[in-house]
Structure 1
Amino acid sequence: MNKFILLLALIVSATHSSAQSIYAPLNADYYHLIDRTDVLNKAFSESVHTSYKPYRAIDVVATIDSSNFLTSKQDQFNAQFIKTDHWEYWGEDSAQSKKPFLKKIYRSKADFLHVNTKDFKLRVNPILYLSAGRDTNSKSTPYMNTRGAQIRGSIDDKVGFYSTIEETQAVFPKYVQDYTADRGVVPNEAFWKKYKENGVDFFTARGYFTFNATKHIGFQFGFDKNFVGNGYRSLLLSDFSAPSTFLKIQTKVWRIQYTNLFTEMVADAPFSSFGSNGTKQFPKKFLTSHHLSINITDNFNVGIFEAIIFNRGDSTGSAFEWNYLNPIIFYRSIEQFTGSPDNALFGMDWKWNIAKGVQFYGQGLLDEMVISELKAGNSWWGNKFSVQLGSKYYNAFGVNNLDLQLEYNVSRPFTYSHESIFTNYAHYRQPLAHPLGANFNEIVFIGRYQPIPKLFLSGKFIWSQYGTDPANENYGGDVLKDYNTRTLEYGNEIGQGVSNDQLYIDLTASYMLKHNLFIDVKHIYRNRDSADPLLSSTTNFSSIAIRLNVAARDHSF
Structure 2
Amino acid sequence: MKYKIITFLVIFLIFLKPGFAQNPASVPVNHPVYNYFDRMETLGHLTRLLDGVRPYSRSKVANALKELSKKRTDLTAIDVRKLDEFLLDFRFELSQDKKHALIPENQNWYSTLASLKNLQKDFSRALDQYFPEEENHLFIWEDSTNNFYLDYEQVFTMDIRSDKLSRNANEQSYMARGTLNNDFAYQVKVSLQGVRGDDGYRESDPIIKSGFSQESEDGDVVFTDRTGGELAWHTKYMDVHFAHQEISWGHGESGKLILSNFPEQYPYFQVSREWSWGKFTAMHGKLQSFQSDTLADETRIFPDKWVAAHRLEIAPFSNFTFGINEVFIYGNRYADWAYLIPFNFYRAVQHKLRDRDNATISLDFEYIPINRLKFYTTIFLDEMKFEKLGTNWWGNKHAIQSGLHIADPFGLSNTELRAEYSAIMPWVYTHKFKINRYESDSRSLGHWAGPNSEVIYLALQKDFHARLKGGIQFLQYKKGANTDSVNVGGNLLTGRNILGAGQEEPKETRNFLEGNLTTERRTKLYLQYEIFNDLYLSASYIWINTKDKIEEKSLNEIHLGFLFNY
User: What range is the shorter-chain TM-score in?
Assistant: 0.7 to 0.9
Does 2:9 align with 1:8?
yes
Q: 1:493 matched to which residue of 2? A: 511
1:293 is aligned to 313
Aligned residue identity for 1:420: F
Which residue in the other structure is 2:426 paired with?
A: 413
Task: Name the structure 1 match of 2:129.
Answer: none
Q: Of 245, 249, 253, which aligns to 2:271?
A: 249
Query: Is the counterpart of residue 542 in structure 1 residue 566 in structure 2?
Result: no
Could you tell me which residue of structure 1 aligns to residue 78 of structure 2?
74
Q: Which amino acid aligns with 2:310?
A: H
Among candidates 353, 373, 391, match of residue 358 of structure 1: 373
One of 512, 517, 533 as aligned partner of 2:535: 517
In structure 1, how many angstroms separate the alpha carbons of the residues matched to 2:528 and 2:291? 36
3-state SS of the aligned residue for 1:66?
Answer: helix
Q: 1:172 to 1:299 in 2, by over 3 A?
A: farther
**Pair 72,34 (structure 1): closer, same or farther in 2 beyond 3 Å:** same
Match status 1:83 vs 2:87: yes
CA distance in 1 between partners of 2:343 and 2:42 (Å): 31
Question: Could you tell me which of 107, 118, 137 is aligned with 1:111?
Answer: 137
Q: Aligned pair 1:96/2:111, yes or no?
A: no
Residue 134 of structure 1: how far off its partner (Å): 1.5
Say if 1:306 and 1:331, in contact at 8 Å, map to a contact too.
yes
Query: Is the 2:362–2:381 Cα contact (8 Å) retained in structure 1?
Result: yes
Runs of 4+ in 1 over 6 A off after TM superposition: 172-175
1:378-393 counterparts in 2 under 5 A?
A: 379-393=392-406
SS at match of 2:176: strand
Shift, 1:164, TM fit: 1.5
In 1, Cα distance between the equivalents of 2:564 and 2:292? 34
Distance in 2, Cα, partners of 1:94 & 1:521 = 36
Q: Which runs of 5+ in 1 are unaligned?
A: 272-277, 314-318, 551-557
Aligned residues: 527
1:474 aligns with 2:487: yes
Bigger Rg, which one: 2
Structure 1 contact 130–547 (Cα < 8 Å) conserved = yes
SS state at 1:438 partner = coil
Residue 131 of structure 2: aligned partner? none
Give 2:47's aligned residue. Answer: 44
Relative to structure 1, the CA distance from residue 512 to residue 279 in structure 2 (aligned partners, 3 Å threshold; closer, same or farther) is farther
Identity %: 19
- Indicate the residue corresponding to 1:264 in structure 2: 286
| In structure 1, distance between residues paired with 2:15 and 2:386 | 50
Distance 2:232 2:553 in 1: 46
Deviations along 1:476-511, one digit per CA (max 9) or x if unpaired, are 121111220155523421111100111122322111
- 2:438 corresponding residue in structure 1: 425
- DSSP 3-state at the match of 1:59: helix
Equivalent AA in structure 2 for residue 225 of structure 1: E
Partner of 1:239: 261
User: What is the letter of the counterpart of residue 61 of structure 1?
Assistant: A
Question: What aligned pairs does 1:302-313 form with structure 2 within 5 A after superposition?
Answer: 302-313=322-333
Determine which of 164, 184, 187 is the counterpart of 1:162. 187
SS of 2:361's equivalent in the other structure is: strand
| Contact 1:460–1:505, Cα closer than 8 Å, also in 2 | yes
In structure 1, what is the equivalent of residue 302 of structure 2?
282
Task: Compute the displacement of 1:94 (Å).
Answer: 7.9
Residue 270 of structure 1 and its aligned partner are, at CA, apart by: 8.6
- 1:429-444 matches, within 5 Å, as 429-444=442-457
Query: For residue 251 of structure 1, what is the amino acid of its counterpart?
Result: R
The CA distance in 1 between the partners of 2:420 and 2:548, in whole Å, is 23
Q: 1:189: how far off?
A: 4.4
Letter in 1 for 2:192: E
- Report how far residue 355 of structure 1 moved: 1.3
Shift in CA distance, 178/485, structure 1 to aligned 2, threshold 3 Å: farther
The answer for the alignment partner of 1:221 in structure 2 is 242
Corresponding position of 1:553: none
- Map 1:388-407 onto structure 2 (within 5 A): 388-407=401-420
Tell me which amino acid in the other structure corresponds to 2:173. Answer: G
Distance 1:406 1:26 in 2: 21
Q: What pairs up with 1:175-190 in 2 under 5 angstroms? A: 177=202, 188-190=209-211
Matching residue's letter, 2:34: Y
How far apart in 1 are the matches of 2:439 and 2:34? 25
**Is structure 2 residue 465 aligned with structure 1 residue 464?**
no
By how many angstroms is 1:388 displaced? 0.7
SS of residue matched to 1:249: strand
Alignment partner, residue 548 of structure 2: 530
Q: Deviations over 1:448-478 (max 9, x none)?
A: 1111111011322111211112336422121
Counterparts of 2:379 and 2:198, CA distance in 1: 33
Unpaired segments of 5 or more residues in structure 2?
A: 105-110, 126-133, 501-505
Q: Does the 8 A contact of 1:295 with 1:301 survive in 2?
A: yes
Q: CA deviation at 1:387?
A: 0.4
1:31 maps to 34
| Two-structure CA RMSD over aligned residues (Å) | 2.7
Distance 2:82 2:220 in 1: 39
| Matched residue SS, 1:492 | coil
